[in-house]
Protein backbone atom coordinates (compact mmCIF):
# COMPACT_ATOMS: atom_id res chain seq x y z
CA UNK A 1 0.00 0.00 0.00
CA UNK A 2 2.85 2.42 0.78
CA UNK A 3 5.87 2.91 -1.44
CA UNK A 4 9.37 2.20 -0.17
CA UNK A 5 10.13 5.91 -0.06
CA UNK A 6 7.05 6.63 2.05
CA UNK A 7 8.05 3.87 4.46
CA UNK A 8 11.62 5.16 4.61
CA UNK A 9 10.56 8.74 5.40
CA UNK A 10 7.97 7.50 7.89
CA UNK A 11 10.46 5.32 9.73
CA UNK A 12 13.38 7.74 9.46
CA UNK A 13 11.84 11.19 9.17
CA UNK A 14 14.30 13.95 8.22
CA UNK A 15 14.36 17.37 9.88
CA UNK A 16 12.22 16.63 12.91
CA UNK A 17 12.48 19.22 15.65
CA UNK A 18 12.16 22.93 16.10
CA UNK A 19 14.23 26.03 15.39
CA UNK A 20 14.65 28.63 18.07
CA UNK A 21 14.06 32.18 16.84
CA UNK A 22 12.93 30.85 13.48
CA UNK A 23 12.48 33.31 10.61
CA UNK A 24 9.01 31.93 10.06
CA UNK A 25 6.74 29.44 11.81
CA UNK A 26 3.57 27.96 10.39
CA UNK A 27 1.00 25.76 12.09
CA UNK A 28 -1.81 24.02 10.29
CA UNK A 29 -4.44 21.58 11.49
CA UNK A 30 -6.79 19.17 9.86
CA UNK A 31 -10.05 19.38 11.76
CA UNK A 32 -11.30 16.09 10.35
CA UNK A 33 -8.59 13.86 11.76
CA UNK A 34 -7.32 16.25 14.44
CA UNK A 35 -3.76 16.15 13.15
CA UNK A 36 -1.50 19.17 13.49
CA UNK A 37 1.68 20.20 11.70
CA UNK A 38 4.17 22.91 12.56
CA UNK A 39 7.03 23.98 10.30
CA UNK A 40 9.97 26.20 11.26
CA UNK A 41 12.06 27.99 8.64
CA UNK A 42 15.47 29.58 9.08
CA UNK A 43 15.92 31.99 6.17
CA UNK A 44 19.10 33.96 5.48
CA UNK A 45 19.47 37.54 4.20
CA UNK A 46 19.37 36.34 0.59
CA UNK A 47 16.00 34.71 1.18
CA UNK A 48 17.48 31.22 1.05
CA UNK A 49 16.05 28.58 3.38
CA UNK A 50 19.08 27.66 5.44
CA UNK A 51 17.31 25.19 7.67
CA UNK A 52 13.87 23.74 8.18
CA UNK A 53 12.34 21.57 10.89
CA UNK A 54 8.92 20.13 11.52
CA UNK A 55 6.88 18.78 14.39
CA UNK A 56 3.64 16.94 13.99
CA UNK A 57 0.85 15.17 15.74
CA UNK A 58 0.06 13.47 12.49
CA UNK A 59 -0.46 10.12 10.86
CA UNK A 60 2.31 8.20 9.11
CA UNK A 61 1.54 9.76 5.74
CA UNK A 62 1.72 13.23 7.29
CA UNK A 63 5.12 12.40 8.79
CA UNK A 64 6.47 11.00 5.51
CA UNK A 65 5.19 13.89 3.38
CA UNK A 66 6.50 16.50 5.79
CA UNK A 67 9.87 14.82 5.93
CA UNK A 68 10.08 14.84 2.13
CA UNK A 69 8.73 18.40 1.91
CA UNK A 70 11.41 19.69 4.29
CA UNK A 71 14.08 17.96 2.21
CA UNK A 72 12.71 19.61 -0.92
CA UNK A 73 12.65 23.16 0.45
CA UNK A 74 16.01 23.07 2.21
CA UNK A 75 18.56 25.21 0.40
CA UNK A 76 15.92 26.71 -1.88
CA UNK A 77 14.89 30.34 -2.16
CA UNK A 78 11.56 31.33 -0.64
CA UNK A 79 10.19 31.69 -4.17
CA UNK A 80 11.34 28.20 -5.15
CA UNK A 81 9.79 26.82 -1.97
CA UNK A 82 6.40 27.98 -3.25
CA UNK A 83 6.71 25.37 -5.99
CA UNK A 84 6.93 22.55 -3.44
CA UNK A 85 3.28 21.58 -3.64
CA UNK A 86 1.74 18.50 -2.12
CA UNK A 87 1.72 17.07 -5.65
CA UNK A 88 5.46 17.59 -5.99
CA UNK A 89 5.97 15.95 -2.60
CA UNK A 90 3.80 12.98 -3.51
CA UNK A 91 5.68 12.53 -6.77
CA UNK A 92 8.98 12.58 -4.91
CA UNK A 93 7.60 9.82 -2.68
CA UNK A 94 6.40 7.76 -5.68
CA UNK A 95 2.78 8.30 -4.71
CA UNK A 96 0.40 7.98 -1.79
CA UNK A 97 -2.80 5.95 -1.44
CA UNK A 98 -5.76 8.15 -2.49
CA UNK A 99 -7.28 8.23 1.01
CA UNK A 100 -4.03 9.72 2.30
CA UNK A 101 -3.66 12.52 -0.20
CA UNK A 102 -5.22 15.07 2.16
CA UNK A 103 -2.46 14.33 4.69
CA UNK A 104 0.13 15.67 2.27
CA UNK A 105 -1.69 19.03 2.27
CA UNK A 106 -0.67 19.62 5.87
CA UNK A 107 2.99 20.03 4.91
CA UNK A 108 2.27 22.27 1.94
CA UNK A 109 -0.02 24.52 3.95
CA UNK A 110 2.35 24.65 6.92
CA UNK A 111 5.21 25.72 4.64
CA UNK A 112 3.00 28.44 3.16
CA UNK A 113 1.98 29.56 6.64
CA UNK A 114 5.64 29.73 7.72
CA UNK A 115 6.55 31.70 4.57
CA UNK A 116 3.65 34.05 5.26
CA UNK A 117 4.90 34.57 8.81
CA UNK A 118 8.41 35.31 7.48
CA UNK A 119 7.09 37.73 4.85
CA UNK A 120 4.97 39.56 7.40
CA UNK A 121 7.83 39.90 9.86
CA UNK A 122 10.10 41.29 7.16
CA UNK A 123 7.58 43.42 5.32
CA UNK A 124 8.11 41.63 2.01
CA UNK A 125 5.81 39.99 -0.52
CA UNK A 126 6.25 36.49 -1.84
CA UNK A 127 4.78 35.94 -5.26
CA UNK A 128 1.86 33.53 -5.19
CA UNK A 129 1.27 34.08 -1.50
CA UNK A 130 -1.42 36.73 -1.67
CA UNK A 131 -3.61 35.83 1.24
CA UNK A 132 -3.07 34.45 4.67
CA UNK A 133 -2.80 30.66 4.37
CA UNK A 134 -5.48 28.57 6.01
CA UNK A 135 -4.90 27.30 9.50
CA UNK A 136 -7.22 24.38 8.91
CA UNK A 137 -6.98 22.57 5.59
CA UNK A 138 -10.72 21.85 5.57
CA UNK A 139 -11.81 25.35 6.47
CA UNK A 140 -13.50 26.17 3.17
CA UNK A 141 -14.87 22.78 2.27
CA UNK A 142 -18.36 21.45 2.60
CA UNK A 143 -19.18 19.24 5.51
CA UNK A 144 -19.75 16.11 3.51
CA UNK A 145 -16.61 14.79 1.80
FE1 LIG B 1 -4.66 13.19 9.56
FE2 LIG B 1 -3.21 11.89 7.88
S3 LIG B 1 -4.97 11.18 8.85
S4 LIG B 1 -2.98 13.91 8.49
pLDDT tens per residue across span 64-73: 999 999 999 9
Per-residue pLDDT, averaged over 111-136, amounts to 92
- Is position 59 annotated as part of the catalytic site? no
User: What angle is formed at CA 61 by the lines to CA 57 and CA 7, rounded to 5 degrees?
Assistant: 120
Average pLDDT, the chain: 92
Shortest-distance atom of ligand 1 to CA 35:
1
Residue 81 has pLDDT above 70, yes or no: yes
Measured in angstroms, how far is the CA atom of residue 50 from the centroid of ligand 1?
28
CATH architecture for the domain at 4-122: Alpha-Beta Complex (3.90)
Ligand 1 neighbourhood includes 35 CB (under 6 angstroms): yes
Contact 27, 135 (CB under 8 A): yes
Residue 112 has pLDDT above 70, yes or no: yes
Query: Distance between CA atoms of 141 and 8, rounded to whole angstroms?
Result: 32
Residue 138 has pLDDT above 80, yes or no: no
The domain segmentation of the chain, as residue ranges, is 4-122
Measured in angstroms, how far is the CA atom of residue 46 from the centroid of ligand 1?
34
Measured in angstroms, how far is the CA atom of residue 119 from the centroid of ligand 1?
28
Q: Looking at residue 139, what is its pLDDT?
A: 62
Amino acid sequence: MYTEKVMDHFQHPRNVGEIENASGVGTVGNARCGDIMRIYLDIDENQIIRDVKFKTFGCGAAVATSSMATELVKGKSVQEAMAVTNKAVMEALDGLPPVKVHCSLLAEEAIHAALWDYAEKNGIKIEGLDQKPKSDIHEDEDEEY
